[in-house]
């Protein structure tokens, strides 16, 4: 399952966002360092295609795709030198697939801390870059020595040198000019900033009309690095309150505020998008289910998402796009009228494909 880790200053709203997404469990409080140990939780990926197919098939079970969120303590200026909680707790998010920067913009005299999201951004990025710099510095000389015996280590040292150059200027790797090759080589090092970043600008409940305006300076700060970074303004508090309501009341509350489905689905969708994740579906009377794959994956690899045997013994896939299937009304009907495509091992699965695999082991 894909994992996303929250970072931000104390009181930025990380635990509130976590609760909204993962259904509660974290302490959200108006004092700094409310969170000490990481909270780990799962959120379902909302998907209307899945809901429609489940209804069509009268499925007994509906299984959405899911993602994991990790909420950790707040960073402060000087964390790398031990200020606040220090930065050791960042280890809790080393192995996530992407980071979510939570930046506060909401004013509230009862909640201490700065309210300028750019100030948050500057401090958080400096501390993340310093933490990564520490990791790189602690290992680079040993790797450099290793090149004398083993020349195949040279590309790794080149990548480390490039990373060190960016990090020592306080630039996180996701917004540096590091090449894709270098990023790939550095992946096993689990650096905090060698991952895509989603940025949540947490605005106040009376600032909903100015959401884009408040996020604009942050968007501007990331100009030119957009492939690895996405910025979303939202009022975390309202979303968290709405998330606690039964579905009907939630819809009503969000509609009254003019928030549509709310921002949580957008956070999840944007987070998956950053990682190039796609969804294929299976549907039947027993269950309808959404499965996650990486863009560009071929049919056997997708079969393997369901079960290793499906991939090893892959013969073919029967395939139809979800909306076409929905229009026809059932899998059998689609088969009857010859609308099920037979795809082989070179088929690149598309987002929204409904699949059935034939295999033999």
Ligand X SMILES: Nc1nc2c(ncn2[C@@H]2O[C@H](COP(=O)(O)OP(=O)(O)OP(=O)(O)O)[C@@H](O)[C@H]2O)c(=O)[nH]1
List interacting residues with ligand X (CB under 6 A). 8, 10-16, 28-30, 32-35, 73-74, 106, 108, 111, 202, 204, 235-237
Instruction: Select the binding partner of residue 204 from Mg ion, ligand X, none (C-beta < 5 to 8 A, by kind).
Output: ligand X
Question: Taking the complex as a whole, how short is the minimal distance between the CB of residue 125 and ligand X, in angstroms?
Answer: 16
Nearer to Mg ion, 14 or 195 (CB): 14
The runs of H, that is alpha helices, within 111-246 are 117-149, 154-167, 180-186, 211-221, 236-243
How is 290-318 classified by DSSP, letter by letter? EEEEETT-BHHHHHHHH-HHHHHTEEEEE
Composition of the chain by helix, strand, coil, percent to 5:
45, 20, 35
Per-residue CA distances from 64 to 45, 250, 283 (Å) = 6, 20, 12
Tally of residues, the chain: 361
Nearer Cβ to ligand X (266/321): 266
Q: Look up residue 353 and give its two tokens.
A: 């494909």
Paired residues of 100 in beta bridges: 6, 198
Q: Which does 56 bind (CB under 5 to 8 A by kind): ligand X, Mg ion, none?
A: none
Contact in structure between 60 and 72 (CB atoms under 8 Å):
no
For tokens 């200027």, the residue is 169
CB nearer Mg ion, residue 30 or residue 276: 30
Residue with smaller CB distance to ligand X, 192 or 277: 192
Give the C-alpha separation, 150 to 277, whole Å: 36
* Cβ(125)–Cβ(166) below 8 Å: no
Which of the choices ligand X, Mg ion, none does residue 221 contact, using the CB cut-off of 5 to 8 A by kind? none
Nearer to ligand X, 77 or 158 (CB): 77
The binding site for Mg ion (CB under 5 A) comprises 14-15, 34-35
Give the nearest distance from C-beta 12 to ligand X in angstroms.
4
Cβ contact 193:173 at 8 Å: yes
Q: Tell me the three state secondary structure of residue 164.
A: helix
Least CB distance from residue 354 to ligand X, whole Å? Answer: 39
Q: Which does 32 bind (CB under 5 to 8 A by kind): Mg ion, ligand X, none?
A: ligand X
* CB of 277 vs ligand X, minimal distance in Å: 26
Minimum distance from residue 39 beta carbon to Mg ion (Å): 8
Shortest distance, CB of residue 67 to ligand X, whole angstroms?
A: 19
Residue 126 binds which of Mg ion, ligand X, none (CB < 5-8 A, kind-dependent): none
If the CB atoms of residues 11 and 292 are measured against ligand X, the closer one turns out to be: 11
Q: Which is nearer to ligand X, 104 or 316 (CB)?
A: 104
Binding partner selected for residue 30 from Mg ion, ligand X, none, CB under the kind-specific 5 to 8 Å limit: ligand X
d(CA 260, CA 275): 25
Residue 8's binding partner among ligand X, Mg ion, none (Cβ under 5 to 8 angstroms by kind) is ligand X
**Across-strand partners of 298?**
348
User: Rounded to the nearest whole angstrom, what is the least distance from the CB of residue 31 to Mg ion in the complex?
Assistant: 10
Closest to ligand X by CB, 57 vs 237, is 237
Q: Which residues are registered as beta bridge partners of 200?
A: 102, 232
Smallest distance from ligand X to CB 140, Å: 31
Distance (Å) of CA 79 to CA 27, 71, 88, 193: 22, 17, 9, 16
Report the residue closest to ligand X, judged by CB. 74
Among Mg ion, ligand X, none, residue 231 binds (CB under 5-8 Å by kind): none
Q: How far apart are CA 115 and CA 97, in angstroms?
A: 28
């Amino acid at each position: 399952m894909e994992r996303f880790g929250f970072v931000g200053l104390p009181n930025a709203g990380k635990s509130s966002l976590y609760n909204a997404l993962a259904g509660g469990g974290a302490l959200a409080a108006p004092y700094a360092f409310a969170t000490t140990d990481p909270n780990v939780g799962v959120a379902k990926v909302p998907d209307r295609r899945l809901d429609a197919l489940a209804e069509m098939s009268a499925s007994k079970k509906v299984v959405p795709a899911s993602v994991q969120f990790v909420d950790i303590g707040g960073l402060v200026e000087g964390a790398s030198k031990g200020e606040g909680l220090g930065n050791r707790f960042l280890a809790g998010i080393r192995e996530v697939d992407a980071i979510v920067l939570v930046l506060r913009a909401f004013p509230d005299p009862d909640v201490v801390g700065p309210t300028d999201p750019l100030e948050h951004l500057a401090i958080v990025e400096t501390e993340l870059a310093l933490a990564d710099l520490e990791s790189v510095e602690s290992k680079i000389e040993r790797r450099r020595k290793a090149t004398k015996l083993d020349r195949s280590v040279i590309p790794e040292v080149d990548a480390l040198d490039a990373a060190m150059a960016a990090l020592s200027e306080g630039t996180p790797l996701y917004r540096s000019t590091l090449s894709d090759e270098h990023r790939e080589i550095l992946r096993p090092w689990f650096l905090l900033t060698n991952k895509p970043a989603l940025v949540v600008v947490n605005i106040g409940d009376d600032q909903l009309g100015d959401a884009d305006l408040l996020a604009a300076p942050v968007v501007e700060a990331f100009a030119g690095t957009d492939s690895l970074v996405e910025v979303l303004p939202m009022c975390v508090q309202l979303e968290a309150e709405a998330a606690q309501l039964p579905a009907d009341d939630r819809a009503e509350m969000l509609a009254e505020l003019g928030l549509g489905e709310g921002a949580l689905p957008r956070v999840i969708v944007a987070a998956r998008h950053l990682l190039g994740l796609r969804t294929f579906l299976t549907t039947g009377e027993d269950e309808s289910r959404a499965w996650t794959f990486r863009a560009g994956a071929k049919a056997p690899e997708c079969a393997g998402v369901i079960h290793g045997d499906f991939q090893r013994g892959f013969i073919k896939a029967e395939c139809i796009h979800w909306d076409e299937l929905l229009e026809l009304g059932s899998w059998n009907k689609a088969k009857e009228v010859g609308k099920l495509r037979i795809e082989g091992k070179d088929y690149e699965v598309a987002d929204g494909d409904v699949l059935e695999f034939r295999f033999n082991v």
